[in-house]
Amino acid sequence: MWYSVGYKEKTEGDPDFKDKEVLEIGNNYSFYYSYQRKLLNNYVDSMKRLYPSPETRLLHYDDKTPWMGNSYMILKSQHNDSLVYMEKINQGQWFRYTETFPSDSWKLVDGDTTILSLPCNKATLDLHGRHWTVWYTTEIPISDGPWKFKGLPGLIMKASESEGIFSFTCIGINESHEPIVVEKHKFVDTTPKKFENELRDYWSNQMEYIMRVQNIPHSPGLWKNEKSYTPCLREFY
């Protein structure tokens, strides 16, 4: 399943970003990730092979470098409501936490539309501080969808939150028999609330955060005058 995704990273005049993301569904779990990020990772890997030296490699990046997209990856069980959320903050660490999606909190409401020639029904959800409206199709009886969403009697084709900051729209469906491959990283296990605090910490002083998490020696307060931003969070814990 292919989704066009709209989002903002911060509240201070941030432009609307677009991403192309993928939902791969297997027998035991599904995997959701940014296709743009995958293209970027493949590009970076090829550049590392061509130019082993970081200094030389930096000189060869150009405007053909793929847009990075969202850095999150989500594994969702097909047998229960558990999921594993993974995300990298900038060039720092990968974080990982597990949680249970509140599938019983969906409200089925009146409304119908058509997406990709498939009839869709309407549902709403209040999830961690945001109100979501989604459209799902029982023509594809798979209880899954973009991002963390799951738990409806059909595939979620579209989702948007009430402030218009985040949206997911299905733009294509195709069948694949390739195995699901999940990237392997060294993760820092955390909780949803602690990860939210990490994001706030990063956006409050990006350079200081990057230097600190990468253990690069620097003078405390060197970037004290750097502009602080407020992140656009999908969830508030």
Convert the pLDDT of each residue in 128-143 to its tens digit: 999 999 999 999 999 9
Number of domains in the chain: 1
pLDDT at 227 (0 to 100):
82
Domain presence at residue 200: no
Domain presence at residue 10: yes
Structural domain for 158, as ranges: 2-190
Rounded Cα gap, residues 78 and 80, in angstroms: 6
* Residue whose C-alpha is closest to residue 7's, from 109, 155, 156, 159: 159
Domain presence at residue 124: yes
pLDDT at 62 (0 to 100):
61
pLDDT at 47 (0 to 100):
72
What six digits make up the tokens of 223? Answer: 């970037």
pLDDT at 205 (0 to 100):
85
- For residue 77, what is the domain's CATH number? 2.50.20
Domain presence at residue 72: yes
Domain presence at residue 218: no
Domain presence at residue 26: yes
**Which element (helix H / strand E) includes 199?**
helix 192-204
Domain presence at residue 181: yes
pLDDT at 93 (0 to 100):
87
pLDDT at 221 (0 to 100):
67
Residue numbers in the chain where pLDDT is lower than 70:
14, 40-41, 43-44, 54-67, 218-225
pLDDT at 203 (0 to 100):
92
Domain presence at residue 214: no
Give the CA radius of gyration of the chain. 19
